[in-house]
Amino acid sequence: MTAPYGRVALIGLGLIASSMAHAIRAAGMATEIVGHAKSPETRAIARDLFCDRVCDTAAEAVQGADLVVLAVPVGAMAAIAAEIAPHLKPCATVTDVGSVKGAVVEAVGPHLPAGTHFIPGHPLAGTEYSGPRSGFATLFKNRWWLLTPLGDTDTAALARLRGFLEALGANVDEMEVERHDLVLAVVSHTPHLIAYTMVGVADHMRRVSQAEVIKYSASGFRDFTRIAASDPTMWRDVFLTNKDAVLDILGRFTEELFMLQRAIRMGDGQQLFDYFTRTRAIRRGIIEAGQDTAAPDFGRGADPVKG
Amino acid sequence: MTAPYGRVALIGLGLIASSMAHAIRAAGMATEIVGHAKSPETRAIARDLFCDRVCDTAAEAVQGADLVVLAVPVGAMAAIAAEIAPHLKPCATVTDVGSVKGAVVEAVGPHLPAGTHFIPGHPLAGTEYSGPRSGFATLFKNRWWLLTPLGDTDTAALARLRGFLEALGANVDEMEVERHDLVLAVVSHTPHLIAYTMVGVADHMRRVSQAEVIKYSASGFRDFTRIAASDPTMWRDVFLTNKDAVLDILGRFTEELFMLQRAIRMGDGQQLFDYFTRTRAIRRGIIEAGQDTAAPDFGRGADPVKG
C-alpha cells in the first residue's frame, strides 16, 4: 500500500483533473487537494465540487505540493512549467496528463529545477465531455495510465507515483516517449481525426437534407460523433504536437483506404470479404486484452435478452 | 392496434431475423413463425431457440405465409426471390431487411407475381455480432425502421406492415429508395469502411509491436474495432451494391481529410480548432434526435458518479 502524498496540486481543472480529485478523495490518497485553472468560473466550480483550496495562480497552487499534476492542453504546458518552476517544493514530483509525450518533455523538462522528479504520464481514459463538472471518481478504473519516465528518473519517486495512480484505479505501464507517441497515433489520435472528418462530411450533407443525416444516424456514425465531440482545444494541440506520427499513420490509412475504394469500384468482393474478416480478429484481441466488454453495444438503449 | 399476421416466414436466420422472431413472440404479432436458412447448423439452432417450424428450403418456408421477410445478404436476394416467387400466397406481403435498397428493388421486384405486396425495408439496428444465437427481442426498440415503398404500393398492406414493425418496438419512417441509399452511405456505409480501414492499419502496426496496439487501444480505436467487427459477408454486399453513393461520399471524405492533414502539416491550429468545434454541434443534434444518450460512454465499464 503506497502512502498518500501530502499536498497534491492540480493545474488545469477539466475532465481529467476533476476526475482525479474525486478519485483521490475516494481513495484517501492526499491530505490536501489544491487546484488552479485559468478561468474564474472553473475555479468557482472546483471550489464547490472537489478542491480543498483553489488558487488564482498556478505559482501559488504548487507551493508546498508533494505532487504537481499538469492537466492543461499540451500547447499550454511550456508557459505553465516556466511559471511554476521557481515555486516548486524541493523533491516535488511533477507529472502531466497530456496525450502527447515528446512535446511535453520538450516543453516542461528544461524549466524544472534539479531535485524535482519529472515523470510524464498519460491516462488512456476520457469521455466526450470536458470541463470541471464532467469528472467522476471511477473514470480511471481498469484503464491504462502510461508513464514515460526519462533516463535519470528516481526509482523511489517513480514507484510512489505508480502506487498513487494504481490507488485511483488505473493499470500503470511504462513506455518510451517516442514509442508512446507512435502507438497513440494509431489507437487514438488518427481515429479521432478520421471521426472528426467523417462527421464534417455529414454536416455538409445535413445542410442540404433537412437533418435526415442526424435523424437516421446509425451505429457507425453515432460512434463517430461521440468521438468527434471531444474537447477541440485538447485535440488541436494533440495534432500540432504529435504531427510526425499522425502524418505517418494518416499516410498508411489513405493508402489502405484507396485500396479498398478501388476494390469497391472494380467489384472485387473477395478482397473486401478477406479484409473485413481479418479486422474481426483484432476486435477479439481487444476484448481478450480487457479493454472492452463483449456485450453487444450497437443497440444502445436496448436491453439484451440473449436467446 | 394492428392485428398480428397469421404465418410469418423468415428467410435467412442471422442477427436481424432471430431478433425479429424473439420480438414477434414477445409482442404476439404472429400465430406461427416459420424459418429457413442455408446452413443446417443455423436451422437446428433456430428450431431450438426461436422458430415454430424450420424448413429445408425457402420455397417451402414461404408457403401460406402472410408476411415474408428476406433477411439474407443483399447479394443473395435475387436467387431467393426467384426461388420463392412461385410459392408465395396470393396477396402476401414481402419485405426485406437489406442495408441497400436500390439493389434489392432491382434484384427482388421483377421476380414477384402480381398481387403480392413488395415493400422494401431496412432496420437501423444491429450489433457487432451475427448469427442465429446473437438475436434478442429488444434490438429494434426505439430504433428507426425505414421503409421505401414503391410507387404502386397498396396503402393497406403498407399500414399493416408499419403497425407490425411498430409492435416490435421500432420507429417506422418512409423514404425514397435513392435517398435512402445516399443517406445510409453517409451515416453507416462509409463510416464502416473507414473503421475497417483504420483497424487494418493498426493490424500492420501490431505485427511489429508485440500487441501494444491492442493492449493500449483507447476510446477512439475501441469504437472503430466494434464497428469493424460486423459481419463481413453483409458488408461486402453493401459496398458492392451501394457502390455509387459510397464512392461519392468517400471522395468527399478524402478531400476533407486532406484539408485537415494539410492544416496539421502547416501547423494551422485555428483551422483545426474551428473544425473540431463545428463537429461537436452535430453530436448534440444526434442526442436531441434521440438516437443516442448523453451518458458519458468513453469510460465504458466505469460507473459514472457525477460530481
Gyration radius of chain A's alpha carbons: 21
Residue B48 grid cell? 431450438
CA dihedral B20, B24, B27, B29 (to 10 degrees): 140
Contact B235 A275 (CB under 8 A): no
Strands, sheet with B144-147, edge to edge from the N-terminal-most edge strand: B121-123, B144-147, B171-174
Q: What percent of chain B lies above the pLDDT cut of 70?
A: 90
C-alpha cell at position B207? 505485427
Question: Are residues B138 and A303 in contact, defined by beta-carbon separation less than 8 angstroms?
Answer: yes
Query: Could A232 and B277 be called an inter-chain contact, meaning their C-beta atoms sit closer than 8 Å?
Result: yes
Q: Is A190 left (phi over 0), alpha (psi -120 to 50) or beta?
A: alpha
Q: Please say if the pLDDT value at position A302 is more than 50.
A: no
Q: Which region among A9-23, A180-194, B15-29 has the lowest average model confidence (pLDDT)? A: A180-194
Cell of A85: 518552476
CB atoms within 10 A of CB B1: 5
Residue A125 in contact with residue B217, Cβ under 8 Å?
no
d(CA B89, CA A3): 77
DSSP A85: G
Sign of CA dihedral B97, B98, B104, B108: negative
To which residue does cell 493492449 refer?
B215
Q: Look up residue B186 and give its DSSP letter.
A: I
**pLDDT recorded at residue B206:** 62
pTM passes above 0.90: no
CA–CA dist A219, B126 (Å, integer): 8
* Record: contact B205-A186, CB cut-off 8 A: yes
The mean per-residue pLDDT over the stretch A252-280 comes to 95
Q: How many CB atoms lie within 10 A of CB A270?
A: 9
DSSP annotation of B306 reads B
**Of A63, A78, A73, residue with least CA distance to A8:** A63
Cross-chain residue pair A186–B221, CB shorter than 8 Å:
yes
Tell me the pLDDT of chain A averaged across its residues.
Answer: 90
* Bridge partners, B117 (sequence order): B93
Are A279 and B229 in contact (CB < 8 Å)?
A: yes
Query: How big is the CA angle at A67 (ends A65 and A72), to the nearest 5 degrees?
Result: 100
| Contact: B193, A218; criterion CB under 8 Å | no
Contact residues on chain A for B302, CB-CB shorter than 8 A: 125, 136, 138-139, 141-143
Instruction: Report strand pairing: B53-54 vs A171-174.
Output: unpaired
Which of A205, A225, A303 is most worth mutating to test chain B (most B CB atoms within 10 A of its CB)? A225
Please tell me which residue of chain A has the smallest CA distance to B267: A240
List the single residue in A222, A301, A305 with the smallest CB-CB distance to B142.
Answer: A301
Give per-residue pLDDT as tens, A32-59. 999 999 999 999 999 999 999 999 999 9
Q: Give the CB-side neighbour count of residue A236, counting CA atoms within 13 A.
A: 18
Q: Three cell numbers at A58?
A: 498556478
Going by pLDDT thresholds of 50, 70 and 90, the confidence category of residue A217 is confident
CATH of A179-288, one of 3.40.50.300, 1.10.3660.10, 2.40.400.10, 1.10.579.10: 1.10.3660.10
Contacts of B272 in chain A (CB under 8 A): 232, 235-236, 239-240
Domain B5-175 architecture: 3-Layer(aba) Sandwich (3.40)
Q: Select from B205, B232, B265 the Cβ nearest to the Cβ of A280.
A: B232
How many Cβ atoms are within 10 Å of A28's Cβ, its own excluded?
Answer: 9
User: What is the pLDDT at residue B294?
Assistant: 67
pLDDT, residue B25, reads 97
Min Cα separation B24/chain A (Å): 13
| B33 neighbourhood in chain A, CB within 8 Å | none
d(CA B189, CA B116): 30
Name which of A159-173, B181-195, B263-277 the model is least confident about: B181-195
Averaged pLDDT, A251-279? 95
- Give me the residue spans of the domains in chain B: 5-175, 179-288
Please determine, for residue B157, whether its predicted confidence score (pLDDT) is greater than 70: yes
Nearest alpha carbon to residue B130 among B55, B72, B68, B62:
B72
Lowest mean pLDDT among A203-217, B41-55, B160-174, B176-190: A203-217
Number of helices (H) and strands (E) in chain B: give both, helices first. Answer: 13, 9
In this prediction, residue B19 has a pLDDT band, given cuts at 50, 70 and 90, of: very high
* B150: three-class secondary structure by DSSP: coil
**Residue A214 and residue B242: Cα distance in Å, rounded?**
20
Residue B214 has a pLDDT of 72
The residue of chain B with its CA nearest to that of A186 is B202
Query: Looking at the partner chain, which of B191, B202, B279 has a beta carbon nearest the beta carbon of A200?
Result: B279
More confident residue, B125 or A159: A159
Set of cell numbers at residue B182: 445516399
Judge: A307–B200 Cβ closer than 8 Å, yes or no.
no
Per DSSP, the three-state class of B165 is helix
Pull the grid cell for residue B83: 426461388
CA A298, CA A220: separation in Å to the nearest integer? 8
| Residues B129/A287, Cβ–Cβ less than 8 Å | no
CB contact under 8 A, A138 and B278: no
Residues in chain A: 307
> From CA B208, how far away is CA B253, in angstroms rounded?
29
Put simply, the answer to whether A184 touches B218 (Cβ < 8 Å) is yes
Average pLDDT of the residues of chain B: 90
Q: Which residue in A134, A199, A233 is closest to B279 by CB distance?
A: A199
Average pLDDT of the segment spanning B67-95: 97
Reported confidence tier of residue B194, pLDDT bands at 50, 70, 90: very high
A1 falls in which pLDDT band (50, 70, 90)?
Answer: low
Question: How near does any CA of chain A get to the CA of B219, in Å?
Answer: 7
Q: Taking CB atoms and an 8 Å limit, are B229 and A188 in contact across chains?
A: no
How many contacts (CB atoms, under 8 Å) link A and B?
Answer: 398
Please give the C-alpha separations between residue B99 and each of A225, B228, B232, B286, in angstroms, as whole numbers: 21, 16, 13, 21
Q: Find the CB nearest A291 among B22, B205, B222.
A: B222
| Best CA proximity match to B157, nearest among B92, B240, B210 | B92
DSSP A90-121: TT-EEEE--S-SHHHHHHHGGGSPTTSEEE-E
Looking at residue B217, what is its pLDDT?
A: 74
pLDDT value, residue B303: 36
A261 interaction partners in chain B (CB closer than 8 Å): 247, 250
Q: Is the pLDDT of residue A197 over 80?
A: yes
pLDDT band at A225 (very low <50, low <70, confident <90, very high): confident
Confidence of residue A141 (pLDDT cuts 50, 70, 90): very high
In chain A, the residue whose alpha carbon lies closest to the alpha carbon of B217 is A187
| Phi, psi dihedrals of residue B102, rounded to the nearest 5° | -60, -45
The residue with greater pLDDT, A85 or B2, is A85
Q: Please name the residues in contact with A230: beta carbons below 8 A apart, sequence gap of 6 or more.
A: A126, A128, A130, A192, B276
Nearest CA in chain B to A270: B236
Which of A182, A272, A303 is the best mutation test for B, with the most CBs of B within 10 A? A272
Closest-CA distance of chain B to residue A149, Å: 17
A199 CA to chain B: closest CA distance, Å? 6
Describe the strand order of the beta sheet including A121-123 as a list of residue ranges.
A121-123, A144-147, A171-174
CB contact under 8 A, B298 and A125: yes
- Mark yes or no for CB contact B264/A240 under 8 Å: yes
CB contact under 8 A, A279 and B199: yes
Position A307 scores a pLDDT of 30
- The larger pLDDT score, comparing residue A165 to residue A211, is at A165
Q: How far apart are CA A156 and CA A278, in angstroms?
A: 44
pLDDT score, position A170? 97
Q: Is the ipTM of this complex over 0.90?
A: no
Q: Out of B224, B239, B303, whose CB is closest to A272?
A: B239
Fold: same for B5-175 and B179-288: no
Residue of A201, A229, A230 with shortest CB distance to B249 = A201
| Beta-bridge partner residues of A30 | A5
Farthest-apart Cα atoms in chain A, separation: 67
DSSP, collapsed to helix, strand or coil, labels residue B8 as strand
Q: Give the residue among A67, A73, A86 at the shortest CA–CA distance from A6.
A: A67
Strands B93-96 and B67-70, by their bridges, are: parallel
- pLDDT digits 0-9 by tens, A276-290: 998 887 777 767 766
In terms of DSSP H, where are the helices of chain A?
15-27, 40-49, 58-61, 77-84, 102-108, 155-167, 177-184, 190-207, 212-215, 219-227, 232-241, 243-266, 269-288
Nearest CA in chain A to B48: A307
